[in-house]
Amino acid sequence: METIGQGIIEAFKLIGSLNPELLQILFLSLEISVLAVIIAMLFGVPMGTFLGLKRFPGRNLFIAIVNTGMGLPPVVVGLFVFLILARSGPLGGLNLLYTPWAMLIAQVIIAAPLVMGVTMAAIQGLDERLKLQILALGANTLQFYLKLMKEARLSLIAALAAGFGSVISEVGAVMMVGGNIKGQTRVMTTAIVLETRQGDYSLAIALSVILLLIALLLNLIFTYLQQRRSS
Amino acid sequence: MNAVLLLKNVEVTQGGKRTLEIPELDVRKGEILVILGPTGSGKSTTLKLMAFLIKPQRGEVFWQGEKVHFPAPLSVRRSISMTFQDPLPFEGSVFENVAFGLKIRGIKGEDLRVRVEEILELLSIAHLKDKSAKRISGGEAQKVALARALIFHPSLLLLDEPLASLDPLTKKQLESELYRVLKQLGITCVYVTHDQEEALSLADRIAILDRGRILQIGAKEEVFFKPNDVKVARFVGVENLIPAEISANEEGLATMEAMGKTLEAVTPFPPGARVIACIRPEEVTLKKDGVGVEKISARNQLSGKVLSLETLGPVIKVSLDCGLQIKVLITRRSASDLSLKPGDTVLASFKATAVHVIPEDEGE
């Protein structure tokens, strides 16, 4: 208990001191995860919408793959990205391993199926007649898709929250492909693992508290976006 | 004849079942065409076809005289607007809902605002402008749906049972308001319903649809007072369908025998023809035997016993046994003037012109 208490005090001291190393870790975490979720949304929302609307051969197989992807163990993604980016791998020449880019790629792969799956369910859950109504008012294909996404806004924000939650808290994949290099690829989660291993519990707890606060803050923003019309 | 839209030899098959088969159906400029039919008769399918939302397996659809190939061009789809039985509000305010059709047509700013406010005013829902479209009453929501469909002045408006889920009072109000707006804007409209009263008050022409086929189409008086067959007659509220045989015909005034009673009707059917005499219940008047001695001009007079009285809002349906059963609709006032009760003997009379004669249906 004492350790936890000390850790929390330490956390606020650290936040207050604006420790440059802490800030650097914090910003890298946010940068990679926010960018990963944006890319996952840009890719996953249209794909999910398409999957929710269209019937084509092999659709069920594709959906099964997406659903599996939603529960993909991050370490497996890490291993996969590692093997591809490793010097002997197919994309080894790009020299991306142990850079933030590798971490970004891994996080996009983790978040995209989540976004896709939630979007697909949301679009399928919309009233079939609502879809006809949008077309019956003269929407072209693009306008139709955009309107559907707007109608599914609540669920899309849930997809955003789920995607972000999964990548900001993820440690296995970023550790494997980023390497937790100080000043380069060290992020909140990998730093927590490291500090815990080294016995510096108070710093680990401080980082955890900050991570939790960030998650809370972002979810407050998501909730506000999601619920503002319902009140 | 100015056909806005024409269906020709169209067939729609859904799930291996043929749900629609229409040799020809035209929608004329400026008219309100009501498609009247029971649930599952293919009414909604017909509307979706007219909105180019579904493709017929066979046949052709013409828009303003030109054949349309599927998928229909956006310019054609954008000339047509459709609403459904449920108002299906979008997320957002009433204003945003109504503005949708204009926004997707590239209209914005002041022009957009003015036009939305105009249509809201026209439907007397301007006060709802900033409310969430999902948080207003059923009648209001239906008006929003109408405003949303009307705002871009479609050349053809398709309404799928827009009043079906409303309470009777709201329904009556909205019905007359809808009629006023459609006629004021001069909009061509196809209106689908299963309610014959709605059909009667809104229609210029009526098409009776049953099991995917049009049984009869024509001016509303024609369909309501001169149904082609028993099915149509039943559907438009002709409650007295009396099998009879023509015994004589003098220059169009026929005499016929029906279960021992003699009826007269204006019809060209020759003696010997087996027919059905159709009499609308509101065309029959009742008198109590012995009360009042003034001459009755109606050629058909049948004396009978009151079997039952059934109150239907402002009118009362009286079932009579005159040797043959006759249903009569009278006002509450006449019922109380006559102090009618079951068992009373009354005289039912109706004009020879009130009897519409159709050939006996072989299928029946």
- What pLDDT was estimated at residue B290? 60
pLDDT digits (tens, 9 = 90+) for A40-73: 999 999 999 999 998 899 999 999 999 999 988 9
Alpha-helical (H) ranges within chain A are 2-17, 20-53, 59-70, 74-85, 100-125, 128-136, 141-151, 153-168, 172-178, 188-197, 201-227
pLDDT digits (tens, 9 = 90+) for A164-220: 999 999 999 999 999 999 989 999 999 999 999 998 887 888 888 888 988 899 889
Q: What is the nearest CA distance from A159 to chain B, expressed in angstroms?
A: 18
C-beta atoms of B90 and A147 within 8 A: yes
Does the pLDDT value for residue B108 go beyond 90? yes
- What pLDDT was estimated at residue B167? 86
A64 touches chain B (CB under 8 A): no
All residues of chain B having their beta carbon less than 8 Å from the beta carbon of residue A228 are: none
Residue among B53, B105, B152 minimizing CB distance to A135? B53
pLDDT digits (tens, 9 = 90+) for B243-282: 999 999 999 999 999 988 999 999 999 999 999 999 999 9
Averaged confidence pLDDT in chain A: 90
CA B302, B307, B311: angle at the middle one, nearest 5? Answer: 110
Residue among A135, A143, A151 minimizing CB distance to B90? A151
Does the pLDDT value for residue A4 go beyond 70? yes
For residues A80 and A107, give the distance between their C-alpha atoms in angstroms, rounded to a whole number.
12
- What pLDDT was estimated at residue B362? 59
Residue among A129, A137, A140 minimizing CB distance to B101? A137
- What pLDDT was estimated at residue B364? 47
Does the pLDDT value for residue A2 go beyond 80? no
Nearest residue in chain B measured CA to CA from A146: B104
Q: If residue B206 lies in a helix (H) or strand (E), which one and from where to where? A: strand B205-210
- CB of B330 closer than 8 Å to CB of B306: no
pLDDT digits (tens, 9 = 90+) for B64-75: 999 999 999 999
CB contacts < 8 Å between A and B, how many? 55
Q: What is the mean pLDDT of residues B298-319?
A: 90
Does the pLDDT value for residue B113 go beyond 70? yes
All residues of chain A having their beta carbon less than 8 Å from the beta carbon of residue B98 are: none
Averaged confidence pLDDT in chain B: 92
Q: What is the nearest CA distance from B193 to chain A, expressed in angstroms?
A: 18
Band of the pLDDT at B291, cuts 50, 70, 90?
low
Q: What is the nearest CA distance from B83 to chain A, expressed in angstroms?
A: 7
CA A190, A191, A194: angle at the middle one, nearest 5? Answer: 90
All residues of chain A having their beta carbon less than 8 Å from the beta carbon of residue B100 are: 137, 147
C-beta atoms of A137 and B100 within 8 A: yes
Chain A residues 97-126 within an 8 A CB cutoff of chain B? none
- CB of B334 closer than 8 Å to CB of B252: no
Q: What is the mean pLDDT of residues B199-210?
A: 94
Residue among A137, A150, A229 minimizing CB distance to B148? A137
Q: What are phi and psi of B80, to 5 degrees?
A: -120, 145
Nearest residue in chain A measured CA to CA from B91: A151
Nearest residue in chain B measured CA to CA from A152: B91
A227 touches chain B (CB under 8 A): no
| Pairing of the two strands B156-160 and B80-83 | parallel
Strands (E), B220-291: 240-250, 253-258, 261-266, 274-279, 285-288
- CB of B255 closer than 8 Å to CB of B299: no
Residues from B contacting A (CB-CB < 8 Å) are 48, 51, 53, 74, 77-78, 80-84, 86, 88, 90-92, 100-101, 104-105, 132, 148-149, 152, 158
All residues of chain B having their beta carbon less than 8 Å from the beta carbon of residue A227 are: none
CA A113, A117, A119: angle at the middle one, nearest 5? Answer: 115
- What pLDDT was estimated at residue B96? 96
Percentage above 90 pLDDT, chain B: 78
Classify residue B40 as left (phi > 0), alpha (psi -120 to 50) or beta: left
Going by the DSSP 8-state scheme, the letter that residue B236 receives in this structure is T
For residues A149 and A117, give the distance between their C-alpha atoms in angstroms, rounded to a whole number.
14
Nearest residue in chain A measured CA to CA from B93: A229
What does pTM read for this prediction?
0.84
- What pLDDT was estimated at residue B205? 97
